Structure 1
Amino acid sequence: MSERWARAMLTAYRWAGAALYPVIGGYIVWRVSKGKEDRARRHERYGYAAAPRPPGPLIWMHAASVGETMAVLGLIEHFLSSGINVVLTTGTVTSARVAAERLGDRVTHQYVPLDLKPAISRFLNHWKPDLAIIAESEIWPMTILELGARRVPQVLVNGRMSDRSFERWSKRPSLAEALFENLAHVVAQSEVDGERFRRLGARPVTVSGNLKVDTLRPPVDEQVLAAMRRAIGGRKTWAAVSTHAGEEEIAADVHCMLRRRYPDLLTIIVPRHPERAADLKAAFEARGLKVALRSNAEALTPETDILLGDTIGEMGLYLRLTEIAFVGRSLVGEGGQNPLEPAMLDTAVLSGPNVQNFRDAYRRLIERGGAKLIRDGQMLAGAVNLLLREDKFRSRMIAAGRATVEDMSGALPRTLAALEPFIHPLIVKSRLEGGNGGPRKA
Structure 2
Amino acid sequence: MVVIYYFLALFLWLFGAIFLLILSLKQKYKISIPARFFLYKNPSFKPARVHFHACSFGEIRALKPLFDEFDDKAISVITKTGFDEAIKICENVRFLPFEIFLPFWLKKSKILVIFEAELWLMLVFMAKFKGAKVILVNARISDRSYKRYLKFSFFYKRIFKYIDTVYVQSEIDKSRLEKLGANNIIVSGNIKSANTPSPTKIYEKPNGRLVVLASTHKGEEKLLLDGLELAESDRLVVAPRHPERFDEVAEILLNFSKINNYEFAKFSKSGNFKTKITLLDTLGELVNLYAISDVVVLGGSFVPGVGGHNPVEIAVFNNALISGEYIHNQKALYALVSNVYFAKFNEISSLLKNDLKKCKVTHKADLKMIINEIGKA
Listed one character per residue, the Cα deviations across residues 314-372 of structure 1 (whole Å, up to 9, x for unaligned) are: 1112212312111111111241111000001221221111111111222332xx4x212
Pair 1:27–1:411, CA change in 2 (3 A): farther
1:161 corresponding residue in structure 2: 141
Which has more helix, going by share of residues? 1
Say which SS state the counterpart of residue 138 (structure 1) adopts: coil
Say which SS state the counterpart of residue 361 (structure 1) adopts: helix
Say which SS state the counterpart of residue 197 (structure 1) adopts: helix
TM-score of the pair, normalised by structure 1:
0.77
Query: Structure 2: how far apart are the matches of 1:59 and 1:21?
Result: 29
Instruction: Assess if the C-alpha contact under 8 Å between 1:49 and 1:110 holds in 2.
Output: no
Matched, 1:241 2:233: no
Opposite residue 193 of structure 1, the aligned amino acid is D
From 335, 354, 360, the counterpart of 1:363: 335
Opposite residue 240 of structure 2, the aligned amino acid is P
Instruction: Assess if the C-alpha contact under 8 Å between 2:214 and 2:239 holds in 1.
Output: yes
Query: Structure 2: how far apart are the matches of 1:41 and 1:171?
Result: 29
2:78 corresponding residue in structure 1: 91
Opposite residue 96 of structure 1, the aligned amino acid is F
Pair 1:49–1:281, CA change in 2 (3 A): closer
Query: Structure 2: how far apart are the matches of 1:331 and 1:26?
Result: 36
Listed one character per residue, the Cα deviations across residues 218-260 of structure 1 (whole Å, up to 9, x for unaligned) are: 43312xx12xx2xx2x22221111111111112322xx5323x
1:378 corresponding residue in structure 2: 346
Opposite residue 75 of structure 1, the aligned amino acid is L
Greater C-alpha radius of gyration:
1
Pair 1:27–1:91, CA change in 2 (3 A): farther
Pair 1:169–1:110, CA change in 2 (3 A): same
Where does 1:11-410 land on structure 2 (aligned, <5 Å)? 12-22=4-14, 24-37=16-29, 39=31, 42-43=34-35, 45-47=37-39, 50=42, 54=46, 58-80=49-71, 85-101=72-88, 103-105=89-91, 108-114=92-98, 116-117=99-100, 119-124=101-106, 127-222=107-202, 225-226=203-204, 229=205, 232=206, 234-253=207-226, 256-259=227-230, 262-287=231-256, 288=258, 290-297=263-270, 300-301=273-274, 304-334=275-305, 335-365=307-337, 368=338, 370-374=339-343, 376-386=344-354, 390=355, 394=356, 397-398=357-358, 401-404=359-362, 408-410=363-365
* RMSD between aligned residues: 2.5
Deviation for aligned residue 1:163: 2.1
Instruction: Assess if the C-alpha contact under 8 Å between 2:127 and 2:134 holds in 1.
Output: yes
Instruction: Assess if the C-alpha contact under 8 Å between 1:244 and 1:333 holds in 2.
Output: no
Deviation for aligned residue 1:299: 5.8
Query: Structure 2: how far apart are the matches of 1:180 and 1:104?
Result: 29
Deviation for aligned residue 1:298: 6.1
Q: Percent identity?
A: 24
Query: Structure 2: how far apart are the matches of 1:179 and 1:54?
Result: 26
Deviation for aligned residue 1:54: 4.4
Instruction: Assess if the C-alpha contact under 8 Å between 2:32 and 2:95 holds in 1.
Output: no
Listed one character per residue, the Cα deviations across residues 383-408 of structure 1 (whole Å, up to 9, x for unaligned) are: 2221xxx2xxx3xx32xx3351xxx2
Pair 1:65–1:364, CA change in 2 (3 A): same
Listed one character per residue, the Cα deviations across residues 40-98 of structure 1 (whole Å, up to 9, x for unaligned) are: 9934554577567545x522211101111012112122121xxxx21101111112221
* Equivalent pairs, count: 372
Query: Structure 2: how far apart are the matches of 1:246 and 1:330?
Result: 11
1:4 corresponding residue in structure 2: none
Opposite residue 402 of structure 1, the aligned amino acid is K
Pair 1:221–1:31, CA change in 2 (3 A): farther
Instruction: Assess if the C-alpha contact under 8 Å between 1:147 and 1:154 holds in 2.
Output: yes
Deviation for aligned residue 1:300: 4.8
Query: Structure 2: how far apart are the matches of 1:385 and 1:240?
Result: 16
Opposite residue 178 of structure 1, the aligned amino acid is R
Query: Structure 1: how far apart are the matches of 2:154 and 2:36?
Result: 32
Listed one character per residue, the Cα deviations across residues 180-210 of structure 1 (whole Å, up to 9, x for unaligned) are: 2221111112222222111211001101111
Opposite residue 382 of structure 1, the aligned amino acid is S
Instruction: Assess if the C-alpha contact under 8 Å between 1:326 and 1:351 holds in 2.
Output: yes
Query: Structure 1: how far apart are the matches of 2:279 and 2:30?
Result: 24
Say which SS state the counterpart of residue 199 (structure 2) adopts: coil
Opposite residue 308 of structure 1, the aligned amino acid is L
Deviation for aligned residue 1:284: 2.5
